[in-house]
Amino acid sequence: MPESLLARREAVYRSLYGIALVLLVVPLLDAIARSWPIRLSEPGWRFGALSLVLNSLVTPLLGLALATLVAVQLGDWRTLRSLGLLAMGSAMLLLLAVALYALNLVEMHHTVAQESVRAFDVAALKTLVASALALPVTLWVGSAAWWAGSLKGRAPSPSGDPSKLVVGRV
């Protein structure tokens, strides 16, 4: 492939990091803005804020996946390792958030009007299922990115000695 075409392809891939960043950050900022001002002492606020954050996880996961794919395509090993750490750290925060959500769910359940209990339960179940799916996926992407980033230098180099390349046995 001509060098100028490779440079253009790399430039396009690098621009996708920006899209990944937007996908990662904007939904979480939106959840924070919707739940502003912070009122940690109010169980209703905690439950609502955690619901917003936990229900906005799909888009950041897409951003994480996009950034990971771009890093793989570019052979950007440091970024892969960083994304792996980010994902695994996020998974730990997600686990904490789900635990807090469950505690607030129990606390809030008795305050819901009788005619709204079914809708409340369905919404809470949806949030718990989405979180239960997002947690292992986040760990999976994180561990895959970490592992891929640790393979730096282990793959055969295209500029290596072709006489040492084993293609098959007779």
What lies within 8 Å, CB to CB, of 47 at 6+ separation is 101, 104, 105, 107, 108
Question: Mean pLDDT for the chain?
Answer: 90
| Interval 32-72: pLDDT, tens | 999 999 999 999 999 999 999 999 999 999 999 999 999 99
Q: What are the sequence ranges of the domains in the chain?
A: 3-150
How far apart, in whole angstroms, are the C-alpha atoms of residue 57 and residue 31? 10
Peptide linkage before 37 cis (omega within 30 of 0): yes
Locus of tokens 């009122």: 39
